[in-house]
Amino acid sequence: MERWIYMDNAATTPVDPRVLEAMLPCFSERFGNAASHSHAYGWEAEEATENARTQVARILNVTVKEIIFTSGATESNNLALKGVFGHYRAKGNHIITSAIEHKAVLDVCKILEARGAEVTYLPVDHAGIVDPDAVRAAIRDTTILVSIIHANNEIGVIQDLAAIGAICKQRGVLFHTDAVQAVGKVPFDAQALGVDLVSVSAHKLYGPKGTGALYVRKRKPRVVLESQIDGGGHERGLRSGTLNVPGIVGLGKACEIASLEMAEEGQRIRRMRDQLYERIRSRLDDLHLNGDLEKRLPGNLNLSFAYVEGESLLMSLKGIAVSSGSACTSASLEPSHVLQALGVSEELAHASVRFSLGRFNTMDEVEIVADRVVEAVQRLRALSPLYEMIREGVRPDTTR
């Protein structure tokens, strides 16, 4: 297959060659089980996982013993939410989250509601921002957890976690964030942000799929979770199962690279994103940016093209990999729940495209994509009777 221009890095990122290089020995000469403590193969594997644990802890500014390895962010979110609810249920049953969370949080909340939890789903403003004062107002005596996504996977908007974290600390409520899209792309300091649980995924920061981590605070406060996978007592008893040593090593290396290169890389990606936006909006009318432009991940650009159906546009962009929303819900015909929460109309929500630029994109690719998007939108609009009516100043509701 001819290689496409890839601008869907929010869905997954390619494994960085340096990450792959670090992983390869774990498949062959250093293939031991990290739980085998009686011989050198196991000792090597354990050393590799503990080195990776240090690398992950460093990028979050936490201690090594606070990192629990998982199969990815979905498991991390499940362990965080279900784990808190299971252990602290005697204290209360109320959970606060937002309307724009990833389905890996929203679906868990629905399951917990069936188990007796009361969940408050906070709205966002038109820019996609959760008001910290709304969090404050929603907290009750029975609130045990607040879970707010750090950077949204569809619109890239970054929340004010520090303000929310301060409120949670003041009220003695645990604070979890799904930081999958943010870690490795923008600075993250768990101490400064006041978070108690953080979900991380390797394949969103140029590591392998099937590996993630959950930060679980050990002090002030000490967070206790009810385990969700039992059988062997691995990972401090919170996540039983043989450790995926190659994947864990890959996650650690990806975090190490991001720690060193994030600042410069973020500036370069932001310049490409801004150039993409400018080249499109300077040539197309009826273009809508979804989400705040400033409080946003460097590589995210979510646009709605009025009078164009999003799926038709995607099919017209031959050789370009972008998406119409979250990869986890792309098979659904329903409009994005994130865009609906922003107040975007159903028509515009269906006309949205997410461009997510990453480490391996180039400015030449940006120019090619912008040109092809403009050409495709103009061609599709030329086939639209509605667009022609609007251009002529005729409102559809006055034509009868």
| pLDDT for residue 180 | 98
Instruction: Tell me the mean pLDDT in the region 335-353.
Output: 94
Share of the chain above pLDDT 70, in %: 94
Going 242 to 247 to 249 to 251, the CA torsion angle's sign is negative
| pLDDT for residue 47 | 93
Distance CA 62, CA 200 (A): 13
Residue 400 pLDDT level (bands cut at 50, 70, 90): very low
Catalytic residue among 26, 109, 255, 328: 328
| pLDDT for residue 384 | 77
Instruction: Tell me the mean pLDDT in the region 23-31.
Output: 93
| pLDDT for residue 398 | 46
| pLDDT for residue 14 | 97
H-only helix segments in the chain: 17-23, 40-60, 73-88, 103-114, 132-138, 161-171, 190-193, 245-281, 310-316, 337-341, 346-350, 363-382, 385-391
Residue ranges of domains in the chain, CATH in brackets = 5-10+262-398 (3.90.1150.10), 17-257 (3.40.640.10)
pLDDT at 230 over 80: yes
List pLDDT tens digits, range 179-215. Answer: 999 999 999 999 999 999 999 999 999 999 999 999 9
Contact 100, 147 (CB under 8 A): no
List pLDDT tens digits, range 145-169. Answer: 999 999 999 999 999 999 999 999 9
Instruction: Tell me the mean pLDDT in the region 275-289.
Output: 97
List pLDDT tens digits, range 252-266. Answer: 999 999 999 999 999
pLDDT at 392 over 80: no
List pLDDT tens digits, range 75-114. Answer: 999 999 999 999 999 999 999 999 999 999 999 999 999 9
| pLDDT for residue 34 | 85
**Residues comprising the chain, all counted:** 400
Q: What is the DSSP letter of 224?
A: -
Distance CA 310, CA 346 (A): 12
What is the chain's percent helix, strand, coil content, to nearest 5?
45, 15, 40
133: closest CA among 99, 93, 167? 167
Share of the chain above pLDDT 90, in %: 83
pLDDT at 330 over 70: no
Entry pTM: 0.93
| pLDDT for residue 348 | 93
| pLDDT for residue 42 | 87
Q: Is residue 26 annotated as a catalytic residue, yes or no? A: no
100: closest CA among 393, 329, 269? 329
Q: Per the omega criterion (within 30 degrees of 0), is the bond before 221 cis?
A: yes
303: closest CA among 319, 324, 275, 327? 324
**Residue 88, token pair as written in the block:** 């602290």
pLDDT at 388 over 80: no
